[in-house]
């Protein structure tokens, strides 16, 4: 009996010892550290200061705010899915490059860096700070955010490069335009309406969405997404349109057109483009038969 009790106790203690996650395992669940590790693979002209400053933001927001700080001469963007080229048709390469970089998922071969990447000094110090603090608390802000640069002797510091006309892309900022417009035209993120997870996931990933997990209110209308890097609002449809009979399809298109024209008008009044994402070619064809002026993209998103 005593032997069995001892064995049970040892088994229990062993389970307790192995169930607690290690500091490194906890770090892998810390979104700030995930962002820093992803930023560490890229070449920055500012040593990574912008990436560290924005590390608490979702990756798409960090990518948009810090896109201008990338060393664009050393980065190539490969839109393997084709969604960025389609969504940004008519826009500058800025929209495509930022769209590829800001994708929430990492797709191999989409962002190609030329040469060896030396981790930005500010990013390295931020990661080291997490390591020293136990790297498990998400409340801890990186202690070295923008204070590390003054540690260098001023005589040895090089000034940050000024944007030149030879850069691939202009600095990214939609804020001045938004401030110049009417207050109702400034995008306001609000939680996704409803609990349709497949629909919301499509809205976040396909454009991709500047505010993951959020709809955006512009001009009094609610849109499913504001695309990263360009002034384009999206309405996402994931109906199983192909399974409807002809009568239901007709009624659905009538209802959608009323909504889409209203949203397009609000978007245009605030200086935004407007794109409709649908899951199937049949749904796209049905909309365009009624209104050829709509911009419709097949997302392939499933229910």
Most confident of 76-90, 172-186, 266-280: 266-280
Average pLDDT score over residue span 245-249: 94
Indicate whether 184 pLDDT > 50. Answer: yes
Token duo for residue 4: 């069995």
Indicate whether 112 pLDDT > 90. Answer: no
Q: How far apart are CA 220 and CA 266, in angstroms?
A: 7
pLDDT at 181: 56
Q: What are phi and psi of 143, to 5 degrees?
A: -70, -20
CB 100 within 8 Å of CB 84: yes
Average pLDDT score over residue span 31-50: 88
Residues 6+ apart with CB under 8 A from 301: 198, 199, 201, 202, 206, 236, 238, 277, 279
How long a stretch of residues is the chain? 303
Long-range pairs, 130-133, Cβ under 8 A, ≥24 = 130/27, 130/30, 130/32, 130/33, 130/36
Closest CA to 38 of 73, 20, 62, 65: 62
Peptide bond into 14 cis (omega under 30): no
pLDDT at 78: 79
- By DSSP bridging, strand 296-298 and strand 273-278 are parallel
Grade residue 19 by pLDDT with cuts at 50, 70 and 90: very low
Lowest mean pLDDT among 12-21, 103-112, 201-210, 264-273: 12-21
pLDDT in tens, 93-109: 456 778 888 776 666 77
Most confident of 42-51, 67-76, 105-114, 268-277: 268-277
Indicate whether 111 pLDDT > 70. Answer: yes
Q: What is the dihedral of CA 59, 60, 65, 68, to 10 degrees?
A: 100
Annotated domain spans of the chain: 23-146, 175-298
Lowest mean pLDDT among 121-125, 126-130, 247-251: 126-130
Token duo for residue 273: 């483009």
CB 266 within 8 Å of CB 221: yes
Token duo for residue 227: 């695309």
Share of the chain above pLDDT 70, in %: 68
- Residue of 20 and 108 predicted with greater confidence: 108
pLDDT at 147: 36
pLDDT at 55: 87
- Per-position DSSP letters for 81-108, written without gaps between them: SSHHHHHTTTS-HHHHHHHHHH-SS--T
Q: What is the dihedral of CA 121, 126, 40, 163, to 10 degrees?
A: -60
CB 236 within 8 Å of CB 203: yes
Q: How far apart are CA 24 and CA 70, in angstroms?
A: 28
Mean pLDDT for all residues in the chain: 75
pLDDT in tens, 132-173: 665 443 433 433 333 333 434 444 444 444 333 333 333 344
Query: What is the edge-to-edge ordering of all strands in the sheet holding 221-223?
Result: 188-191, 214-218, 221-223
């Amino acid at each position: 009996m005593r032997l069995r009790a001892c064995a049970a106790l040892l088994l229990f203690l062993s389970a307790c010892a192995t169930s607690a996650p290690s500091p490194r395992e906890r770090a892998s669940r810390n979104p700030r550290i995930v962002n820093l590790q992803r930023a560490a693979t890229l070449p920055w002209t500012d040593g990574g200061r912008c990436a560290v400053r924005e590390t608490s933001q979702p990756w798409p927001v960090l990518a948009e705010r810090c896109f201008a700080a990338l060393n664009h001469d050393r980065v190539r963007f490969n839109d393997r899915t084709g969604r960025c080229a389609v969504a940004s048709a008519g826009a500058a390469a800025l929209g495509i490059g930022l769209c590829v970089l800001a994708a929430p998922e990492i797709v191999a071969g989409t962002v190609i860096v030329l040469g060896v990447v030396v981790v930005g000094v500010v990013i390295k110090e931020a990661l080291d700070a997490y390591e020293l603090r136990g790297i498990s608390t998400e409340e801890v802000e990186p202690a070295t955010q923008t204070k590390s640069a003054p540690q260098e002797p001023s005589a040895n510091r090089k000034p940050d490069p000024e944007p030149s006309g030879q850069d691939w892309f202009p600095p990214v900022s939609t804020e001045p335009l938004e401030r110049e417009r009417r207050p109702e035209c400034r995008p306001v993120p609000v939680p996704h309406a409803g609990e349709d997870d497949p629909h919301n996931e499509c809205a976040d990933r396909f454009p991709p969405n500047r505010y993951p997990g959020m709809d955006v209110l512009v001009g009094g209308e609610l849109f499913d997404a504001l695309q990263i890097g360009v002034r384009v609002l999206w309405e996402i449809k994931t109906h199983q349109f192909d399974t409807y009979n002809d009568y239901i399809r007709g009624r659905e298109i009538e209802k959608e057109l009323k909504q889409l024209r209203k949203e397009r008008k609000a978007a245009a009044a605030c200086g935004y483009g407007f794109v409709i994402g649908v899951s199937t070619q049949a749904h796209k064809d049905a909309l365009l038969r009624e209104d050829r002026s709509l911009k419709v993209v097949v997302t392939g998103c499933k229910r």
